[in-house]
Amino acid sequence: MAHLPILQVILPLLAAPLCLFLKRPKLVWLFACVVTALTFTISVLLVQQVTSTGAISYELGGWAPPWGIEYRIDALNAFVIMVVSGLSAVVLLAARTSLENELSSNRQTYFYALYLLSLTGMLGILATGDAFNVFVFLEISSLSAYALIAMGKDRRALWASYQYLIMGTIGATFILIGIGLMYQMTGTLNMQDLAERLPEVAQTRTVFVSFAFVVVGVCLKLALFPLHLWLPNAYAYAPSIVTAMLAATSTKVAIYLLIRFTFTVFGLSFSFTTLPLNILFLVLGLLGIFVASISAIYQQNVKHIFAYSSIAQVGYMIVGISAGTAAGLSASLMHIFNHALMKGALFLALAGVMYRLGNVQLKSFQGLGRQMPLTMAAIVVGGLSLIGVPLTVGFISKWYLVVAMIENGWWPVAILILFGSLLAIIYLWRVVEVAYFRAPNKDNESVKEAPLGILIPTWILVLANVYFGVDTRINVQIAQLAAENLFGIVP
Partner 1 sequence: MNLSLETLLQLSIALPFFAVIAIVATGRKPNLREGVSIGTGLLLFYCVVKLYNGLKQGADIQVQWLEIIPGLGINFHIEPLGMLFALIASFLWIITTVYAIGYMRKHNEVKQTRFYSFFAIAISAVMGVAFAADLFTLFIFYEVLTLSTYPLVTHAGTDKAKAGGRVYLGILLSTSILFFLMAIISTWMVAGSLAFTAGGVFAGDVNLVLAGAILILFVFGIGKAAIMPFHRWLPAAMVAPTPVSALLHAVAVVKAGVFSIMKVCVFIFGLDLLAILPSTQFLLYLAGITVLLSSLIAMRQDNLKARLAYSTISQLGYITIGALLATSAGVIGGSMHIAMHAFGKITLFFCAGAILVTAGKSKISEMQGLGWQMPVTMIAFFIASLSIIGVPPGGGTWSKWFLLMGTMETQQWALMVILMISSLLNIAYLLPIPLRGFFPKDSIDRSAITVNEAPLPSLMALSLTTVACVVLFVYPQPLYELVQAILNTPGVTNGQ
CB 326 within 8 A of CB 332: no
Helix, coil or strand: residue 340: helix
DSSP category for residue 407:
H
Which residue of 159, 208, 429, 487 would you call a contact of partner 1, by CB under 8 A? 429
Which residue of 37, 55, 294, 418 would you call a contact of partner 1, by CB under 8 A? 418
Q: Checking phi first, is residue 267 left (phi over 0); if not, alpha (psi -120 to 50) or beta?
A: left
Give 208 or 399: the residue with its C-beta nearer to partner 1: 399
Question: By rule CB under 8 A, what string of x and - marks binding of each residue 388-417 to partner 1?
Answer: xxxx----x-xxx-xx--xx------xx--
Does residue 201 interact with partner 1 by CB under 8 A?
no
DSSP 405-453: HHHTT-HHHHHHHHHHHHHHHHHHHHHHHHHHHSPP-GGGGG--PPPHH
Contact region with partner 1 (CB under 8 A), list: 55-63, 147-155, 311-319, 385-393:
385-393
The count of residues interacting with partner 1 (CB under 8 A) is 29
Amino acid type, 244: A
Which residue of 120, 293, 421, 465 would you call a contact of partner 1, by CB under 8 A? 421
Residues 450-479 that bind partner 1 (CB under 8 A): 469-472, 476
Q: In whole angstroms, give the CA distance from residue 262 to residue 279.
A: 14
Helix, coil or strand: residue 385: helix
Quote the least distance from Cβ 402 to partner 1, whole Å: 5
Q: In whole angstroms, give the CA distance from residue 381 to residue 87.
A: 18
Quote the least distance from Cβ 287 to partner 1, whole Å: 20
Give 121 or 394: the residue with its C-beta nearer to partner 1: 394
Give 265 or 331: the residue with its C-beta nearer to partner 1: 331
* 441-454 per-residue burial string, b: 16 or more CB within 10 A, e: under 16: eeebeebebbeebb
Does residue 419 interact with partner 1 by CB under 8 A?
yes
Cβ neighbours of residue 363 closer than 8 Å, sequence gap 6 or more: 300, 434
Contact region with partner 1 (CB under 8 A), list: 8-16, 57-65, 191-199, 386-394:
386-394
CA distances from 368 to 97, 334, 360 (A): 20, 32, 11
Please state, as a whole number, how many other Cβ atoms lie within 10 Å of the Cβ of residue 471.
10
Q: In whole angstroms, give the CA distance from residue 199 to residue 341.
A: 38
Which residue of 90, 387, 431, 455 would you call a contact of partner 1, by CB under 8 A? 387
Instruction: Give the CA count within 13 Å in the CB-facing half-sphere of 80.
Output: 31
The angle, 0 to 180 degrees and rounded to 10, between the axes of the packed helices 156-186 and 205-222 is: 160
Give 298 or 419: the residue with its C-beta nearer to partner 1: 419
Quote the least distance from Cβ 389 to partner 1, whole Å: 6
Does residue 425 interact with partner 1 by CB under 8 A?
yes
Quote the least distance from Cβ 348 to partner 1, whole Å: 22
Quote the least distance from Cβ 429 to partner 1, whole Å: 7
Quote the least distance from Cβ 84 to partner 1, whole Å: 25
Does residue 367 interact with partner 1 by CB under 8 A?
no
| Helices and strands, counts by H and E, the chain | 22, 2
In the complex, the residues that contact partner 1 under the rule CB under 8 A are 384, 387-391, 396, 398-400, 402-403, 406-407, 414-415, 418-419, 421-422, 425, 429, 433, 437, 469-472, 476
